[in-house]
């Protein structure tokens, strides 16, 4: 089988050096990559580096190998075009259909999915000109990955960093896997909120009541939503996983903190997916100092109080009409019957029901589930990677948003 063909466009920003690592990951995982830099990208990383790492010449203009008509061919033959970093200038040219060099020609001839990973100073990113260009590209079906927040060139920090290459690679991998479906990013223009991980309810400064949730399912939901074009807020409770490219990650510890973060983000969200394992109870009393054992004395029992039920609250009090609310249910017995009862009790639109045990689902890479819908339909998801379940959830969410 032919290797999937990827065009890596590189425009002129300091983050061009990170594109070398993205290129390596793409070639090492079996992709045939052509690098198409802009003239100014070569100010940051030279032609020799791109050619050596990709195994192809890296031309910037349409005038080399003219008999092969590269300005048309490279785009036509690609299975994916990813531009990383995409500067404000490149985004403007792409949004307006300019074709002054090989990269912009390639963008006009490509009929495959296109991913832009912008990187620039915060002011340039926030400028209405850039934001309008990004909105135009998204409306046309491209995936524009939100820049990360952090250290920029020089002493500045803010939004505008290129996400880490391994996370950009994950976006490319998912977009490629979706194939032709990815040319119309079906969650483009949508804001989705996902909670992930497990809350910890402190007993004293060193101890807590917690659960075994790893956060992997919630992160898979975030990564797949980014690859389908959504703006993603990921409310992460005690996870040790790398931030997905393009997601705005809000870190929380307890159920009360999670509720606050989710409700705030849900105010303008099209969909909220509660994948987090939220503790139903918390210790009634928090000991300011570490609880000590006392010689000859039995320990005090731990009194618990109820935590707010975030899913029930979101479902009962929708922040906007047509907002889709999705819950997860981890059950050990009578899985489907308990799932149906829980769907009705919580009032959400969809409930993903999976069977859990010590080694099933928690921390595992694979899962198996049934998605129950309030309209009575059931969608079984066979045993497979958590991102396959995530994609099924987004298929069902997108169908409901489309009807709204
Ligand atoms: N959930 C929530 N707030 C809580 C508890 C749970 O939002 N305080 C959400 C979870 O994120 C998940 C769903 O509710 O989406 C299922 O939670 P679960 O604890 O399994 O359901 P319960 O109604 O608590 O049922 P039970 O403990 O009896 O199984």
Q: What is the pLDDT of residue 276?
A: 98
CA separation for the pair 273, 194 (Å, rounded): 5
Q: Are 117 and 86 within 8 A, CB to CB? A: yes
Residue boundaries of the structural domains of the chain: 5-184, 191-403
Q: Which residues sit with their C-beta closer than 6 Å to ligand 1?
A: 255, 274, 276, 278, 280, 307, 309-311, 327-330, 342
Q: What is the pLDDT of residue 153?
A: 82
pTM of the complete model = 0.94
Q: What is the pLDDT of residue 68?
A: 78
pLDDT band at 25 (very low <50, low <70, confident <90, very high): very high
Active site residue 211: yes
- CA 284 to mean position of chain CA atoms: 36
The architecture (CATH level 2) of 191-403 comes to 3-Layer(aba) Sandwich (3.40)
What's the half-sphere exposure (Cβ side, CA atoms, 13 Å) at 76? Answer: 6
Q: What is the pLDDT of residue 200?
A: 98
CA separation for the pair 10, 84 (Å, rounded): 5
Q: Report the residue among 197, 215, 342 best suited for mutation to probe ligand 1: largest number of ligand atoms under 8 A from its CB.
A: 342
Q: How large is the average pLDDT for residues 300-305?
A: 94
Domain 5-184 has CATH 3.40.50.300: no
Residue 89 pLDDT more than 60?
yes
Residue 357 pLDDT more than 70?
no
Cis, bond preceding 247 (omega within 30 deg of 0)? no
Q: What is the pLDDT of residue 359?
A: 57
Q: What is the pLDDT of residue 176?
A: 95
Answer whether 5-184 and 191-403 agree in fold.
Answer: yes
Residue 322 pLDDT more than 70?
yes
Residue 106 pLDDT more than 90?
yes
Distance 152 CA to ligand 1 centre (A): 40
The span from the first CA to the last CA of the chain, in angstroms, equals 42
Burial of 229: CB neighbours in 10 Å, binned 0-12, 13-18, 19+: buried
Question: Which residue's alpha carbon is at the smallest distance from atom 16 of ligand 1?
Answer: 329
């Amino acid at each position: 089988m032919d290797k999937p063909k990827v065009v890596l466009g590189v425009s002129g920003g300091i983050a061009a050096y990170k594109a070398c690592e993205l290129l390596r990951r793409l070639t090492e995982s079996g992709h045939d990559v052509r690098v198409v830099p802009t003239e100014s990208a070569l100010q940051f990383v030279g032609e020799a580096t791109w050619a050596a790492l990709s195994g192809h010449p890296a031309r910037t203009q349409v005038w080399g190998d003219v008999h092969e008509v590269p300005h048309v061919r490279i785009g036509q033959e690609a299975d994916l075009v990813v531009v990383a970093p995409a500067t404000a200038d490149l985004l403007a040219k792409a949004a307006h259909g300019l074709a002054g060099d090989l990269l912009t020609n390639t963008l006009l001839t490509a009929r495959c999915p296109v991913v832009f990973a912008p990187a620039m100073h915060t002011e340039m990113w926030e400028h209405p000109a850039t934001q309008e260009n990004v909105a135009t590209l998204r409306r046309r079906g491209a995936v524009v990955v939100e820049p990360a927040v952090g250290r920029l060139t020089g002493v500045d920090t803010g939004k505008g960093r290129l996400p880490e290459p391994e996370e950009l690679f994950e976006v490319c991998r998912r977009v490629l896997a979706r194939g032709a479906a990815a040319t119309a990013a079906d969650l483009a223009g949508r804001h989705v909120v996902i909670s992930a991980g497990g809350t910890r309810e402190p007993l004293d400064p060193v101890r807590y009541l917690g659960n075994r949730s790893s956060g992997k399912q919630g992160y898979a939901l975030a990564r797949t939503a980014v690859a389908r074009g959504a703006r993603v807020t990921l409310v992460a409770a005690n996870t040790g996983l790398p931030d997905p490219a393009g997601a705005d990650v809000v870190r929380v510890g307890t159920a009360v903190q999670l509720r606050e973060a989710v409700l705030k983000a849900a105010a303008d969200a099209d969909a909220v997916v509660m994948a987090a394992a939220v503790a139903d109870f918390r210790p009634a009393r928090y000991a300011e100092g570490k609880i000590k054992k006392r010689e000859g004395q039995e320990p005090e029992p731990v009194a618990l109080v109820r935590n707010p039920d975030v899913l029930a609250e979101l479902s009962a009090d929708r922040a906007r009409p047509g907002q889709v609310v999705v819950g997860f249910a981890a059950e050990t017995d009578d899985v489907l019957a308990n799932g149906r009862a829980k769907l009705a009790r919580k009032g959400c639109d969809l409930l993903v029901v999976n069977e859990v045990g010590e080694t099933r689902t928690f921390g595992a890479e694979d899962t198996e589930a049934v998605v129950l819908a309030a309209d009575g339909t059931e969608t079984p998801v066979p045993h497979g990677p958590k991102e396959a379940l995530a994609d099924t959830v987004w298929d069902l969410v997108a169908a409901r948003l489309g009807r709204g």
